[in-house]
Amino acid sequence: MSSPSSNAVRSGHTAIVAFGSNVGDRIDMIEQACRKLDGHPQTRVLRTSCLWETKPMYFEDQDNFLNGVCEVSTSLEPEKLLDLLQDIEKDLGRVKVIDKGPRTVDLDIVLYDDIQYASERLTIPHALMLEREFVLRPLCELIPDAAHPKYPTMSYRHVLARLPKSDPPMSTVTPLAPGLPPIIALNPSRHTQIMAIINLTPDSFSDGGLHSPSDTTSLQTTLLSALNSGATILDLGGQSSRPHAAPIPDSTELARLAPALHLLRSLSSPSPPSPPSSSSSSSPQAKTNPPRFAISIDTYRASVAHAAITAGAHLINDISAGTLDPAMLRTVASLGCSICLMHMRGDPQTMMQPPHTTYAPELGGVLGGVARELRARVAAAEAAGVRRWRILLDPGLGFAKTAGQSLELVRGLANLREAEGLSGLPWVLGPSRKGFVGKALGVGREPGEREWGSAAAVAACVQGGADVVRVHEVGAMRDVVRVSDAIWRV
């Protein structure tokens, strides 16, 4: 088992706790349980697995579960930790009616240090862990090469490989926004989601000045057009990230974002009360319907992220994966929102300089470099408290990449998806109008003249396994995605 991180509870032990839920808002129940563990003075969640959608086992006449595990630092002894877990289950409304039946949340101690322990209430390691794919698969995200205390010569990775796979196969689940279905990244028939680029800047490389935040009528038309054309995510940007772009003050970035945020939040305002029924004496209540889209904020600043999420955004899209603002990952963890970690070296002013576009061939070239460096950023996010199921990845096409390197990343996306430590996480790719597309089309093509080339790149991204494509021309790329899904997502 890995060592506790530096923020562990002093004089603590390390436990692996399995969690599951199949009643109510499953993600919320699991996140509440993790917050309660973090809120106790003698326990702290160090990191989590992804969330995994699983069919019920043993008692099969019930809804699917979300399952996972977390690594917990604790100064509680095993029986006291069990008491705490059962108190959390009770606080979250668990009532045990059927053994292994439906539950709001289930919390089990799977491992505790490397001990073997047995009492009337508790057995460590968990007696059934080696037959449960829904325990072993998330466990292998955290400690794949550790061994069961009773079987020290066989790693959990090898035990998992010997288990028959679930039918249908298990998949990770990544939430984006209330009301929007989560990303099921390992479902081969999943639909590719479309992220619409809404640059509210005067100097973006392709559409700078096109969407003025001060013209709310035009802005509303743009936002509604993107949604009606098939976008499920609207990515709002108030700071240009084009090569050599100069930074602007936080206040300016927020001022550019505010009108669009206000307009989008108005789309999910409470609907008018229904007329009272003649058969009912109760007063009508306004209903708030969650929007069927996610609001993403393209920013690398923690202050902007905090203000935007507080104002109703759902997702942070950070081109630096938390490297340009040391407070970003801690802020996202405290907000409990999802974050897209994009690969980049340097900053927009320096990223295209040769040191940043050099990837050692002996270390796997650009594919190996991106995988290795994103793995480090995932670890940094986890250390800051971001849940693994809240992380999306972006290889950063055109950011610290030559045209040839960007093409290689699109070509090798399937390999990136399977890279050690990254498997199961969803991928966002943004090839739209990029320089590598223009170069492939021929010298002199302006960004606005790259639609057909962007379409080819989007199709290749879908083929490689992209979960989200980030585009300018939503309607045209929607058609590309639909046909690409029909060919490859079966």
Residues assigned a catalytic role: 94, 103, 106, 108
381 beta partners: none
In whole angstroms, what is the distance from residue 1 CA to residue 478 CA? Answer: 45
Residues in the chain: 490
Structure tokens at 378: 């995932």
Segments of 284-403 assigned E as strands = 294-298, 315-318, 338-342, 391-394
Its sign, for the CA torsion 89, 93, 99, 101, is: negative
153 burial (CB, 10 Å; 0-12 / 13-18 / 19+) is exposed
Structure tokens at 459: 């199709």
Residue in this structure with the two tokens 């606005």, named with its chain if needed = 448
7 burial (CB, 10 Å; 0-12 / 13-18 / 19+) is exposed
In 3D, which of 170, 159, 9 has the Cα closest to residue 77? 9
**Residue 148 Cα distances to 99, 112, 220, 305, angstroms:** 26, 11, 57, 41
In 3D, which of 452, 451, 462, 458 has the Cα closest to residue 487? 462
Structure tokens at 306: 């905090």
Question: Taking the mean position of all CA atoms in its chain, how far away is CA 407?
Answer: 24
Residue 295 Ramachandran class (φ > 0 left, ψ -120 to 50 alpha, else beta):
beta
CB 347 within 8 A of CB 353: no
Structure tokens at 117: 């322990």
In whole angstroms, what is the distance from residue 409 CA to residue 429 CA? Answer: 10
Q: What is the H or E stretch that residue 301 is in?
A: none
Using CA atoms of 64, 69, 72, 77 in order, give the dihedral in degrees to the nearest 10: 80
Those residues whose C-beta lies under 8 Å from the C-beta of residue 435, and which sit 6 or more positions away, are 398, 403, 406
In whole angstroms, what is the distance from residue 408 CA to residue 317 CA? Answer: 23
